[in-house]
Amino acid sequence: MAKKLYVGNLSYQTGEESLRTCFAAYGTVESVKIITDRETGNSKGFGFVEMGNDDEAEAAIAGANGSEIDGRKLKVNEAIDKPRR
C-alpha cells in the first residue's frame, strides 16, 4: 500500500518534476503534489509525495530528510491525515 510523506521547507521555485526526480531514487513515486495558494497559485513551500510502499517511504525519509533541493534543506516525514471538517 502506498504511503504519503510530508515534504516541507521547499523553495518556492521547486517544481513537482524535480521533487519526483529526487524521490524516485528511493523507489516508486505514486504521486507528487506541491500545495499552492488558491489566490495567487504560488507554492506555499510544502507538499506531499506518495511512495509505493512502507519500505520505500522509510528509505525516502532517511535519505531525503535534510537533503538540499534548490538551496533549501528538505524536512521529510510521514504525513498525518487531518480530520475531515
pLDDT score at 61: 98
Nearest to 67 by CA among 16, 17, 9: 9
Q: How many CB atoms lie within 10 A of CB 75?
A: 14
Q: Between 2 and 57, where is the model more confident? A: 57
Per residue in 22-55, pLDDT tens?
999 999 999 999 999 999 999 999 999 999 999 9
Record the pTM: 0.92
Positive/negative CA dihedral, 83, 42, 68, 48: positive
Could you tell me where the DSSP H helices lie in the chain?
16-24, 54-64
